[in-house]
Amino acid sequence: MKLRLAVLLTGGVIALAACSPTKAAQPTPVADSTSATSTSTTSSSAAPSSTSAAPSTTKSATNGPVKPPTNPGTPAPAGSPGWKLTQANTGLAAQGLNCDSLPLYTGPGQPGAGTVISGKRIEQALTLFAGNITIEKSCIRPTKLNEAAPLVTTNGPCGSNSCQVTGAPVTIRDSNIDGSKLSASTIAKSCAFLGVGTLQRNYITGMGSGICFYNTGSSLSGLAEGNYVRGLRTAGDAHNDGATVRDFPLDRNAGRTLTFRNNRIDCSTGQDTGALFIQTYGGDIDNVTVEGNLLEGGGYQLGLESSHGNQYGRNMKSINNRFTGSGWGAAYVTANGVGYKWAVWQDNYLLDQNAPDAKGKPAGTP
């Protein structure tokens, strides 16, 4: 039995741990608590109550204009697929910036609703539960962190078996999320981002796992687009994901969507679950589209699992992706009695950089 990655709530922190889904005891999944900020389809942009979030007096964290870079950088052209992304054309480098050149952010680790952080070096973990927050052209590079804690999260206060869910959008774009200032033992079970939000054109490196859509609530959509995840690290018994989805239910908002588009995701720690691991550990999952990505590294590069008493739905799509085919292979599905697999599996190929549009051999339907 190959190990898969599970996400556990331990001591009020959502952490990553290895598990075997067919044998593991089912914990109480993290979900909306009774005091979550929003569970309706019409109030997803409402700010949370003042008793559960940081004060919202700080509306901007720019502290004045950011000095234009000497080298403006060369971002990847709009709509570039994942196999066109590099360290140079994503994140800060694409903007002609780097972490060390940015002024230090001195604001709170739990910024209030309406905050915009632009052009800052952020040396602390961030809790963006207040929602309506944008981080852009910044470097999130904490110098200290609780073991297994995420570098950035949209989760609110946690109880013994659940965490509150943000009720309003969060966006991180054109930035670096960097775990390199932390020890491998500290970040081996940490996600760069944990929760629900929009991540665009970021360079993500140096932690155990990259983009983790988990505790996504029931109203907000999610988007990961144009990000490059690489250089993940491990230690001990950690197993690592380049990106993962652990819940995305539609019971209260059938129109919400979760999209991975035009990302490059490399999970090569040697203790890899895979580049993109979709497992119904915390709840049902549906309306997920995986399109235009390059998935690299060990494990299975794209996994889809129904487990822990939950199911993936009938609108799961994988379109025009590339796989290096290393590790255990390109893709697999564990249906566990669901009776169906990907709703759409179309134009997925092994990577061949010398072929037109990098289309090597077809990646067979898992």
| pLDDT band, very low/low/confident/very high, at 55 (cuts 50, 70, 90) | very low
**% pLDDT > 70, the chain:** 81
**Helices assigned H by DSSP within the chain:** 184-187
pLDDT value at residue 40 = 29
Residue that has been written with the tokens 């800052």 in this structure: 120
pLDDT value at residue 64 = 43
C-alpha span between 156 and 54 (Å, rounded): 10
C-alpha span between 320 and 91 (Å, rounded): 23
Are the beta carbons of 166 and 155 closer than 8 angstroms? yes
Tokens of 175: 């930035």
**All residues at 6 or more sequence positions from 301 whose CB lies less than 8 Å from its CB, including other chains:** 274, 275, 276, 295, 323, 324, 325, 326, 327, 329, 330, 331
pLDDT in tens, 184-201: 999 999 999 999 999 999
| pLDDT band, very low/low/confident/very high, at 131 (cuts 50, 70, 90) | very high
pLDDT value at residue 57 = 40
Q: How many CB atoms lie within 10 A of CB 320?
A: 18
Tokens of 2: 């190959």
pLDDT in tens, 316-359: 999 999 999 999 999 999 999 999 999 999 999 999 999 999 99
pLDDT value at residue 215 = 97
pLDDT in tens, 82-103: 999 999 999 999 999 999 999 9
pTM of the model: 0.84
pLDDT value at residue 161 = 82
| pLDDT band, very low/low/confident/very high, at 56 (cuts 50, 70, 90) | very low
pLDDT in tens, 258-272: 999 999 999 999 999
Give the angle 73-78-80 at the CA atoms, nearest 5°.
Answer: 100
Tokens of 113: 């609703």
pLDDT in tens, 10-35: 334 455 443 333 322 222 223 332 22
Tokens of 229: 């995840």
C-alpha distances (whole Å) from 182 to each of 169, 170, 208 are 28, 25, 11
**All residues at 6 or more sequence positions from 179 whose CB lies less than 8 Å from its CB, including other chains:** 141, 142, 151, 187, 190, 192, 205, 206, 207, 208, 233
C-alpha span between 157 and 29 (Å, rounded): 15
